[in-house]
């Protein structure tokens, strides 16, 4: 087996693609971090990652510190390399993971960005449904907000994944996991209108139409890059000060559900989170509402004044 650095990286990337079914963005991130690591090894005169020990691992930590990466970026890079060596150990190419005992820099706690309902209404009202691309883009925004899907998940939606009678969607999530999520009335209406009008026109641009729900102006399946471009473009058209990503609409979905009384476990299932702790980050915005409920409901929440 070829033990040079690039060969080992290629084996790991194939493992992520085939066995882990990782998204294209995950593959891109791992590839970039491992490419940087390869340059580090070359600079140190190490031509195979199999020769790295804890001494070189500590040296790599120091290099990250010297380059003044923020904690989040440094943690991501170390996590990628740790996973890389975990794979090499699983393949019995090494006996010990040199990054196994290295502690990750603590990430800065950043609260997720979300939109207020008034801001969403402003976005939804900006679409002109007499235009075919506006029909498509409104369906995208409504569906993102109605389901909390990741961009990678909405890209994979096929026509047959939507059950119009039950108003549900089959979602293909991370690691090949599938889940069903309900679709709200506004989103269902927007998607149905797009399918019956704009999508038919877009699909006619190809001799063999794509089976994906969302198509670009050439009739091909929309890519993740295309979705992000659409969201950024639409937001800029509405407001110069409003800055959101598709993932912020996912945050908004979870935040609004919790604010309206949804339980954390249900939101976890809708988002497709493996761990409840991942979902708990959204509870930050519910504190004011919980305090209000507590004050109204608890018999001894407030002490009455008077003499």
- Residues recognised as catalytic: 150, 174, 247, 250, 273, 282
DSSP letter string, 51-118: G--HHHHHHHHHHHHHTT--HHHHHHHHHHHHHHHHHHHHTTS-SS-TTTTPPPPPPP--PPP---HH
Instruction: From 124, 145, 165, 141, select the one nearest 214 (Cα to Cα).
Output: 141
C-alpha angle 13-15-20 in degrees, rounded to nearest 5:
110
> What are the beta bridge partners of residue 215?
221
Instruction: From 60, 62, 52, select the one nearest 97 (Cα to Cα).
Output: 52
Taking phi first (over 0 means left), then psi (-120 to 50 degrees means alpha), and beta for anything else, what does residue 111 get? beta
What's the number of CA atoms in the CB half-sphere (13 Å) around residue 251? Answer: 16
DSSP letter string, 117-177: HHHHHHHHTT--TTSHHHHHHHHHHHHHHHH---HHHHHT-BGGGEETTTTEEEEE-GGG-
């Amino acid at each position: 087996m070829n033990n040079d650095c690039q060969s080992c990286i290629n084996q790991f990337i194939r493992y992520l693609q085939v066995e882990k079914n990782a998204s294209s963005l995950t593959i891109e991130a791992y590839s970039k971090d491992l490419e940087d690591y390869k340059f580090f090894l070359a600079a140190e005169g190490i031509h195979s990652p199999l020769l790295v020990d804890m001494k070189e691992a500590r040296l790599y930590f120091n290099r990250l510190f010297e380059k003044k990466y923020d904690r989040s970026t440094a943690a991501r890079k170390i996590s990628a390399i740790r996973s890389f060596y975990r794979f090499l150990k699983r393949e019995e190419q090494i006996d010990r993971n040199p990054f196994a005992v290295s502690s990750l820099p603590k990430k800065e706690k950043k609260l997720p960005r979300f939109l207020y309902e008034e801001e969403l209404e402003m976005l939804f009202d900006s679409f002109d449904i007499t235009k075919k691309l506006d029909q498509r883009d409104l369906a995208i925004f409504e569906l993102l907000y109605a389901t909390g899907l990741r961009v990678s998940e909405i890209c994979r939606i096929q026509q047959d994944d939507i059950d119009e009678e039950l108003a549900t969607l089959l979602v293909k999530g991370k690691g090949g996991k599938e889940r069903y999520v309900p679709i709200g009335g506004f989103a269902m209406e927007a998607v149905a209108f797009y399918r019956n009008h704009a999508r038919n026109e877009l699909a006619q641009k190809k001799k063999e139409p794509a089976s994906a729900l969302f198509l670009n102006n050439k009739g091909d399946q929309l890519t993740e890059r295309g979705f992000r471009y659409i969201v950024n473009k639409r937001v800029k058209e509405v407001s110069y000060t409003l800055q959101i990503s598709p993932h912020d609409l996912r945050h908004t979905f979870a935040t609004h559900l919790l604010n309206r009384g949804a339980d954390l476990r249900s939101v976890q299932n809708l988002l497709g989170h493996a761990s409840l702790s991942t979902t708990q980050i959204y509870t930050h915005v519910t504190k004011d509402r919980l305090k209000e409920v507590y004050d109204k409901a608890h018999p001894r929440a407030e002490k009455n004044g008077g003499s």
